Amino acid sequence: MNKFIMYMGLPGSGKSTLALKQKAYYEQLGYRVVYLSSDNIRRELYGSEEVQREPYKVFERMLQRALAALKREYTIVLYDATNLSSKRRTNLLKQLRQGNPNLECVVEVVLVPLETCVYRNFKRERVVSFSAIMKMFKSFQCPHRFEGWNKIELVYTDWPNAIDKEDLVEMALNFDQSCPSHRENLYEHITRTVDFLNSNYLFSIIQAVELMLLEWALFYHDFGKLYTQTDRNKKGEKTYFKRDGKYLPNMHYYGHDCASAYLWLTSSSVVYFLKEESMSQEEVIEIANIIQYHMEKL
């Protein structure tokens, strides 16, 4: 049976390094391995991987090469790009499975703290701009089974530098959300949300595991605001609101839900749970999905 492996992560997370290691491993096992990299395709099309125009041409070529490769038996396709969009991942799997209904599809989510990605990026020969990395950070969407995966694997390449929960708490304690809907500081808002769950949930119908998932999701659900605050709305305008007789800049937090999910996945809390085996990868992923969809109507 053929296999499709997608690598997902921010620039500097180590996706390509992992993919090339796995390429060598599978080749030793006797598989025919086809490695597809968006950077390599850009170099083919435009002469340089730094050229970012017309991305649809890049990913159309990657799709066609993947489909062609999967026509042969005993083939593994390694698909290396940032792959941060849930919608695009879902559509890709649907197209791949049209002619390969039994195709095994795996996604490797390569995770390092945001600060590590930025540091590694600026040490590389090809540097992605800081603004581009932050845009990706705010659009990160953790995979979920509903996308069509047989397996979702979390891969950590920088355990020691996981984001410490206490550092996030300290920053949140002094963080004024500065918007009409939140008068309290960020940490007060987070703890009130957790307290609301514990005082209002119907414990007669909830299992302990479900409560644990919800509690951790609520605890991390808004830490992304620390990284996404802006005084401009989507139109690029500054707006103001009145508090205690004073007009203050109205802050916005676009993408904080996705950023919060990433902070959870790269946190010291997750590192501890996975090392101690007190939480499974499936539970960690479920919490990330609760966080990143907490602004949506369910």
The pLDDT tens digits of the residues spanning 214-223 come to 999 999 999 9
Structure confidence at residue 203 (pLDDT): 63
Reduced to 3 states (helix: H, G, I; strand: E, B; else coil), residue 230 is strand
| Residue 206 pLDDT > 80 | no
Structure confidence at residue 160 (pLDDT): 78
Task: Calculate the average pLDDT of the chain.
Answer: 92
Reduced to 3 states (helix: H, G, I; strand: E, B; else coil), residue 211 is helix
Greatest CA separation found in the chain?
73
Which DSSP category does 183 fall into? -
Residues 168/263, Cβ–Cβ less than 8 Å: yes
Give residue-wise pLDDT tens across range 253-291.
999 999 999 999 999 999 999 999 999 999 999 999 999
Burial class from Cβ neighbours inside 10 Å (0-12, 13-18, 19+) for residue 58 reads buried
Question: Does the predicted TM-score (pTM) go above 0.95?
Answer: no
Give residue-wise pLDDT tens across range 72-94.
999 999 999 999 999 999 999 99
| Confidence at 202, pLDDT banded by 50, 70, 90 | low
Amino acid in position 193: T
Structure confidence at residue 47 (pLDDT): 72
Give residue-wise pLDDT tens across range 95-137.
999 989 999 999 999 999 999 999 998 888 778 899 999 999 9
| Residue 234 pLDDT > 80 | yes
Structure confidence at residue 50 (pLDDT): 67
Structure confidence at residue 278 (pLDDT): 93
Structure confidence at residue 49 (pLDDT): 64
Lowest-pLDDT range of 15-24, 59-68, 123-132, 273-282 = 123-132
